[in-house]
Structure 1
Amino acid sequence: MPQLSDMNWILIFITVSTTLVLTMVMLYWFDRRIVMRKICRPTVPSINKFLK
């Protein structure tokens, strides 16, 4: 049955792409947060408190 296998491939693709996107977003947010804390620690402590 080709329709079932097509659905399975679509589900696998959606799952993999969603996982990749979530991982990239988490890494980007985590990296940006660390960078912001490093930059703002000496200059703007209010932003540093807001990010925590």
Structure 2
Amino acid sequence: MLEQLEAGEVQEIHNDRMPICLFPKLEERGFPYETEAMEDGSAKVRILKK
């Protein structure tokens, strides 16, 4: 799905926990991201398409 984004678009996901296995894959593919830990233990991740 990320490959279909236009440059500058952001994909936001809400996960039930911090998706630590996803981060190395995003880094390998050159997708910058931001994370936000939520009080309930879930996490929001914003992924940017360069």
User: Per the shorter chain, which TM-score range?
Assistant: under 0.3
> Normalising by the residue count of structure 1, what TM-score does the alignment of the two structures yield?
0.26
Which structure: larger Rg? 1
Bigger share in strand: 2
> Normalising by the residue count of structure 2, what TM-score does the alignment of the two structures yield?
0.27
Kindly indicate whether structure 1 or structure 2 has the higher relative contact order, using CA contacts under 8 Å at least 6 residues apart: 2
